[in-house]
Structure 1
Amino acid sequence: MKVGVAMSGGVDSTAAALLLKEQGHDVVGLHIYMHEYSRYSWGVVQEIAHKIGVPVSLVDLRSHFREMVIGRFLSEYAQGRTPSPCLVCNKLIKMGLLREHALSLGCDMVATGHYARVVHTARNSLLLKGVDVAKDQSYFLAMVPRESLAALLLPLGSITKTQTREIVQNMGISIPRSADSQELCFIHGQTYKEYLLEHGVMSAPGPIVDVHGRVLGEHRGIMGFTVGQRKGLGISAPHPLYVVAIDSQTHTIVVGPVEHTFVDSIDIEQFNELGERPVQPGEVFRVKVRSTSAPVSCTAAAVEDTVLTLRFHKPQRGVAPGQAAVLYREDEVVGGGWIYATKANEGVLSGRAFRA
């Protein structure tokens, strides 16, 4: 089988290519030219491809990445939301445009170095957690449409990160430290705020108020804040204060004590159904509301097409609109959607960002 492997120059994608080649597949390396830093990683990828004996080509998707991923990232921050660009990239770039390019080259499947599993059956393809719990990356693939999963291979889903490194080391390949995975591949040597300002995200100044509406200070732009933030608020108070709401229409930052950062339910939209059976109202799941958080229990309180309301069994803090919520049944990824509102107990201010 001919397989196009997305090769970044890091340990994971290198090991994925090696494993597929060892399994007898006809492996073709594909390096996405996404932004200016891809020029460095392209050189690394060429060296690695030569060492493992696979052809590799550069796929220029810069304009698409700038529009689809960076453009949304900038827009979300400008509206007071907390974006998740990696999920957008996996859906639209890697398993969208790159997949189409690979198929045009005669590839049967596309592979990446994510720590997750895809099980292909006669009926459909299911996305599962990776066996390495500490490195599981199924969260980042939850927005990939089911039809795209049918053409996806994930060679690292059944092994650990330690085994991955051993595979690469046993081939005598040294991966530069800077070429390994990063949080956001398109931001280097800058804070998020610096990057946003450099790219023209200029929001108006506005008031910082407490949960009762009292003005405590002024900020220079909402893009420097996110729900749950404590440090860098630019105000002083006798007790710690946290961002509990961002109003992008009035450019208001609302702050309060830690108890006001807890929410009881979330509303998500554009839900991407991936499970073996549909989500039913009243069904209990485990949900992740950000990549670094542990899954927590919730109940699907309402289900209407691609819009869901999820009620947490225990209040959760630091949940921000713009983030992705991913549902699980044991190891199975049921699907993922974008958080657009959160709700708290009566009498406690909602930690939502108001939609522009």
Structure 2
Amino acid sequence: MNPEPSFASPKRIIVGLSGGVDSAVAAHRLLEQGHAVEALFMKNWEEDDRAGYCAAAEDLADAKAVAERLGIRLHTVNFATEYWDHVFETFLSEYRALRTPNPDVLCNKEIKFAAFLDHALGLGADGIATGHYARIEHDDRGYHLCRCADEDKDQTYFLHLLNQSQLARAVFPLHDLTKPQVRAIARELGLSNAAKKDSTGICFIGERRFRDFLAQYLPRESGPIETPDGVRLGEHQGLAYYTLGQRQGLGVGGVAGGRESPWYVAAKDTARNALILVQDSQHPLLMSPGLDTLTPHWIAGQAPGAPPFRCQCRLRHRQPLQDCEILSADPSGCRVRFSEPQRAVTPGQSIVFYHGDECLGGAVIERGWPT
């Protein structure tokens, strides 16, 4: 397989310039390779922007500085409507259903590799590039999304919903670099954002408390916090505001007097609107031998084989790959059994499948199996 085959010869490529150091160095590397490079800054959120929760204005200023330093044209576009319709509405509907969605996964599918790609092609580009840490390879079977050189930064988990046509038009120039190497290149170039802190969390939430943000859109429906044995520990603010495995922000420290082990969210009893907590991080209620998913997405366009078949998986970004067996897979979903029970299998989050370095695709988790 050959890495980044679509752009082996000089092309006109538009880089998604976010204002961060990764996309800046991605643009520089493409220039080094002889491509005709332009940049595009996407604004994806407007609600509460004036309150300073989203750093779009600062990021745009950084993107302009990078574009000027590199000598490339910078386009700007507002995808706030598309983001609201295709990402944020799904985000809210999942929380209303008491699931925990991952908006970054959907943003890549609907905005960065759909709306942005379409816009770039409309500007006459041959393809797009981003600062994602991932690798594209190609052979006679098609395009393959693979893990990058920096395992700690690998972002294939967030890119697993991409398809063949999107990968054919995309390039990830940082695929063979580590983050320290990226920062070193930015310093050598004299980029003003060389030491800029990596963005974390979701732009539209910013620095405010997640619970306060969500309360603007979902009503607070308080209820009891209990142990599995029914001992009342306190009161929660709404089941939607908590996720399985959560340890922080539960408000039950010291309920038994003196020092005690940490509490973890183990279950949501929707019938009684009760939040169930346990004190053992490996409690049986937190562990699952397998899970069921919603409709899977396969990057190749189909499953890698007839079930059952073995592969690896991740249930969250940066988790070490876990051995598993896909027992069944069809358009309605997958049944997956782990080689070792997994902790805090969370409905709404994604399970992403791998075979060695290659990301096969993934699916939204419907439910974990009880132990």
What TM-score do the two structures reach when normalised by structure 1?
Answer: 0.90
Does residue 118 in structure 1 map to residue 144 in structure 2? no
Which structure 2 residues correspond to residues 314-333 of structure 1 after superposition, within 5 A? Answer: 314-333=340-359
Equivalence for 2:250 = 233
State the Cα distance separating 1:320 from its structure 2 match: 0.9
- Provide the secondary structure at the position in 2 that maps to 1:132: coil
Q: Percent identity?
A: 34
Give the counterpart letter for 1:254 in structure 2. Answer: I
Of 124, 131, 153 in structure 2, the residue corresponding to residue 106 of structure 1 is: 124
Distance 1:277 1:321, change over 3 A: closer
State the Cα distance separating 1:342 from its structure 2 match: 0.5
Of 266, 270, 276 in structure 2, the residue corresponding to residue 244 of structure 1 is: 266
State the Cα distance separating 1:280 from its structure 2 match: 3.1
State the Cα distance separating 1:178 from its structure 2 match: 5.1
Equivalence for 2:224 = 207
Give the counterpart letter for 1:146 in structure 2. Answer: Q
Does residue 221 in structure 1 map to residue 238 in structure 2? yes
Give the counterpart letter for 1:185 in structure 2. Answer: C
* Cα root mean square deviation, aligned: 2.1
Could you tell me how far apart the structure 2 residues matched to 1:72 and 1:139 are?
Answer: 19
Give the counterpart letter for 1:252 in structure 2. Answer: A
Give the counterpart letter for 2:88 in structure 1. Answer: I
- Return 55-64 or 257-266, whichever deviates more: 257-266
Give the counterpart letter for 1:266 in structure 2. Answer: L
Of 9, 29, 45 in structure 1, the residue corresponding to residue 19 of structure 2 is: 9
What TM-score do the two structures reach when normalised by structure 2?
Answer: 0.86
Equivalence for 2:324 = 298
Show structure 1 runs of 5+ residues with no match.
346-356
State the Cα distance separating 1:87 from its structure 2 match: 0.6
Give the counterpart letter for 1:120 in structure 2. Answer: H
State the Cα distance separating 1:167 from its structure 2 match: 1.9
Paired residues of 1:33 and 1:39 also in contact (CA < 8 A): no
Of 267, 272, 281 in structure 1, the residue corresponding to residue 297 of structure 2 is: 272
Distance 1:6 1:248, change over 3 A: farther
Which structure 2 residues correspond to residues 47-126 of structure 1 after superposition, within 5 A? Answer: 47-126=65-144
State the Cα distance separating 1:212 from its structure 2 match: 4.3
Paired residues of 2:288 and 2:345 also in contact (CA < 8 A): yes
Of 26, 31, 34 in structure 2, the residue corresponding to residue 21 of structure 1 is: 31
Distance 1:333 1:218, change over 3 A: same
Give the counterpart letter for 1:204 in structure 2. Answer: E
Could you tell me how far apart the structure 2 residues matched to 1:171 and 1:57 are?
Answer: 22
Of 26, 41, 61 in structure 2, the residue corresponding to residue 31 of structure 1 is: 41
Equivalence for 2:58 = 40
Distance 1:7 1:97, change over 3 A: same
Of 184, 188, 192 in structure 2, the residue corresponding to residue 170 of structure 1 is: 188
1:227-275 CA distance string (max 9 Å, x none): 0123433443476542122244653322234312111111112311025
Paired residues of 1:269 and 1:337 also in contact (CA < 8 A): yes
State the Cα distance separating 1:19 from its structure 2 match: 0.5
Could you tell me how far apart the structure 1 residues matched to 2:68 and 2:140 are?
Answer: 37
Tell me how many residue pairs correspond in the alignment: 344
Could you tell me how far apart the structure 1 residues matched to 2:248 and 2:132 are?
Answer: 33
Of 148, 151, 162 in structure 2, the residue corresponding to residue 130 of structure 1 is: 148
- Provide the secondary structure at the position in 2 that maps to 1:270: coil
State the Cα distance separating 1:279 from its structure 2 match: 4.1
Distance 1:246 1:101, change over 3 A: same
- Provide the secondary structure at the position in 1 that maps to 2:92: helix
Paired residues of 1:193 and 1:223 also in contact (CA < 8 A): no
Show structure 2 runs of 5+ residues with no match.
1-10, 50-54
Paired residues of 2:308 and 2:327 also in contact (CA < 8 A): yes
Distance 1:248 1:76, change over 3 A: farther
